[in-house]
Structure 1
Amino acid sequence: MIHAPGGPAVLFDLDGTLVDSEPLYFEAGRRLLAAHGVPGFTWEEHARFIGIGTRETLETLRREHGLAAPVEELLAEKNRHYLDLAADGTEVFPEMRKLVERLHAAEVPLAVASGSSRAAIDTVLAAGGLDGLFPVRVSAEEVRAGKPEPDVFLEAARRLGVPPERCVVLEDAPPGAEAARRAGMRCVAVPYVHGTVSDPAFASAGLCFPGGQREFDAQRVLDWIAEQLPSAGRGACAEPEDGRTGDG
């Protein structure tokens, strides 16, 4: 696929889509809550917030657990925990790396648009060896509202100089897929959490890998982008026969 003027741009969600950072976010959240007198934070509790920005997550946890610390303090503390963990290395999903490298070689405009902090985005991309492939990065910190609002994707498109209708978004979570729909962008869905496969937000995805990263295929995405397929509609995210989904 050779990029040409008027061709597509591709916007990647970061956590759970490009890299398997959710276990690190879970551990950072567990440490944060334990330090504030809330032990026993579980993966199931964490999974409620996958695809939702860190600020929105902490606002909810602060309210639910009656935490006294201001949200800004909690944000800074969780970010410190996360950066310590992420700096040691974050796994990039192999087929995602292949896709990014192929798109970059074809000079397709690329961006990361994430609910994570800008510091977290930069740290993870550097640790994963992707630092030089994403000159455009947009954090939810930089826009009015995080996903499912479309702000991060629209800002990424603006910085790339590509209209929304020519953008393709790769997402692992329903809030991100909904944000792509609201932005007027095509979406490739790669569900990270098994239980979200049938979420209505994925119904608008033009291409879906219901088995998650386990069945994600970079070449299939490249072919689909090259053909500029329209949305495949509600049937795109039908659950695989064996009922399994991604590695996460």
Structure 2
Amino acid sequence: MSTSTPVAVIFDLDGTLVDSEPNYYEAGKRVLQQFGVPDFTWEDHAEFIGIGTRETLEVLRQRHGIDAPVDELLDLKNAAYLELAAAHTDAFPQMHKLAEMLQANGNPMAVASGSSRPAIEAVLPGAGLDSVLTTIVSAEEVTHGKPAPDVFLAAARLLGTRPADCVVVEDAPPGVEAARRAGMRCIAVPYLPAQADDPLVASADLLFRGGQREFDAQRAFDWIVRK
């Protein structure tokens, strides 16, 4: 990594910057109920944490024999999620602090998420992050979602930064794998405690095993700027 180039930081959104998974679970549950699937549990939802919405719905559509096209399911879920997100979405305080520290230090930053652009643009203002994080890439705007590296590589291009000069902040195995494939360093802050032992998460360059309850903005900032 170049010592003369400021490190760019690419944040995942859901489960990393903001605790949006409860809203995604409820939105998915509502949509599946409309198509005769009444028993979608949190455990069912947790299987797809870190995977793009479209990819998730494609699997669920096949699994439950839903006839509706995935685009219809996607529109329904996005509408339900936007309603829930507008009502309430919490930013993780230490993540918010890290983003502000990086902004003050002049580090380029972006959000690269599996969510739709409307969902990202709805969440960031509600979480007080829209003035800090202005560069956005949705997985719907690239060919392949995580664990493919496309969304992170697109973010690096928008920031005008080499992948080797980027650090990704992620909460789930597919995102950590996407960062590895992109040739980027990765800070892992697992949303689900059990995922701290996942081999992909464990391979991150910096791991906060306790997730958000252990995450420390100053420690992460110091590690980033030293790189």
Q: Report TM bin, short chain.
A: over 0.9
Once the two structures are TM-superposed, the CA of residue 197 in structure 1 deviates from its matched residue by 1.1
Superposition TM-score, scaled by structure 2 size: 0.97
CA RMSD of aligned residues (A): 1.0
Superposition TM-score, scaled by structure 1 size: 0.89
Matches of residues 105-184 of structure 1 in structure 2 within 5 Å?
105-184=104-183
Once the two structures are TM-superposed, the CA of residue 107 in structure 1 deviates from its matched residue by 1.6
Which runs of 5 or more structure 1 residues have no equivalent in the other structure?
229-248
Once the two structures are TM-superposed, the CA of residue 125 in structure 1 deviates from its matched residue by 0.2
CA contact (8 A) 1:52 1:147 kept: yes
Aligned-pair identity in percent equals 64
Partner of residue 78, structure 2: 79
Work out the CA distance in 2 between the residues paired with 1:113 and 1:147: 10
Once the two structures are TM-superposed, the CA of residue 204 in structure 1 deviates from its matched residue by 2.7
Work out the CA distance in 1 between the residues paired with 2:23 and 2:152: 24
Work out the CA distance in 1 between the residues paired with 2:67 and 2:61: 8
Partner amino acid, structure 2, of 1:124: V
The secondary structure found in structure 2 opposite 1:197 is: helix
Partner amino acid, structure 1, of 2:134: P
The secondary structure found in structure 2 opposite 1:170 is: strand
Once the two structures are TM-superposed, the CA of residue 5 in structure 1 deviates from its matched residue by 5.5
Partner of residue 191, structure 1: 190
Work out the CA distance in 1 between the residues paired with 2:80 and 2:164: 38
Which runs of 5 or more structure 2 residues have no equivalent in the other structure?
none
Partner of residue 218, structure 1: 217
Partner of residue 203, structure 1: 202
Structure 1 residue ranges, 4+ long, deviating more than 4 angstroms after superposition: none
Once the two structures are TM-superposed, the CA of residue 121 in structure 1 deviates from its matched residue by 0.4
Once the two structures are TM-superposed, the CA of residue 89 in structure 1 deviates from its matched residue by 2.4
Count of matched residue positions in the alignment of Structure 1 and Structure 2:
225
Structure with the bigger RCO (C-alpha within 8 Å, sep 6+) is: 2
Work out the CA distance in 1 between the residues paired with 2:23 and 2:127: 14
Greater Cα offset, 182-191 or 103-112: 103-112
CA contact (8 A) 1:181 1:204 kept: no
